[in-house]
Structure 1
Amino acid sequence: MKATIWHNPACGTSRKTLAILQDTPGIDLVVIEYLKNPYSRDKLAQIIRDAGMTPAEALRLRGTDAEEKGLPQADDDAILDAMVAQPAYVNRPFVETDKGVRFCRPQEKLMEIL
């Protein structure tokens, strides 16, 4: 099974999720460090939608200035634009497999798509 994780090595939850993927037999793993290789707008919109979330729900507030910029109250397009311009605004980690996409916080959510 192919699995893609949008990963931030500085995030403990992201590291734990990556470790689960690495320890799971039969996983063809793609790791994207999204702070170095940012999302395209279309891909970001797709994974958020496929995870059953809204852009506002995927917005990272902790450790960012997103709240000060009024992003939690912005419309979906404005939030997506901000996330593409500043990938740190995207909460993590997201994982995509053939079975779907999950926002893996907590990391056990990953098991739903393995």
Structure 2
Amino acid sequence: MKAVIWHNPACGTSRKTLAILEETPGIEVEVVQYLKTPYTEAKLRQLIRDAGLTAREALRLRGTDAEERGLANAGDDAIIAAMVENPPYVNRPFVETDKGVRYCRPQDVVREIL
């Protein structure tokens, strides 16, 4: 089974999620470092939707200026546009397999789609 992780190597939860994927037999891991290869709007919308989240729930406030920019109270379209323009605004990690998409906080959530 193939698993794609949208990964930030500076994030402990993302590293732990990647380790679970790499340690699971039969999983072919594709790592997308989204700070180097940013999300497209369509992909980000699909990941958020398929994970059962709103854009606001996927918005990273800690360590960003997203709150100061008013994004905490913005609509989904404005939040997603800001996330596409500023990838650090996306909380992480997202993982996608044939079994679905999960926002892996905590990291063990990834096991639901393996």
Q: Equivalent residues in 2 for 1:25-104 (5 A)?
A: 25-104=25-104
Letter in 1 for 2:44: L
Cα shift at 1:57: 0.3
Aligned residues: 114
Cα shift at 1:28: 1.2
Give identity over the alignment, percent.
Answer: 73
Q: For the residues of structure 1 that align with 2:77 and 2:8, how far apart are their CA atoms?
A: 24
Q: Counterpart of 1:108?
A: 108
Secondary structure, aligned partner of 1:16 = helix
Q: Counterpart of 1:19?
A: 19
Q: For the residues of structure 2 that align with 1:8 and 1:44, how far apart are their CA atoms?
A: 15
Gaps of 5+ in 1: none
RMSD: 0.4
Secondary structure, aligned partner of 1:4 = strand
TM-score normalised over the length of structure 1: 0.99
Letter in 1 for 2:8: N
Gaps of 5+ in 2: none
Q: For the residues of structure 2 that align with 1:14 and 1:75, how far apart are their CA atoms?
A: 26
Deviations 1:15-62 (A, max 9, x none): 000000001111111000000000000000000000000000000000
Cα shift at 1:72: 1.0
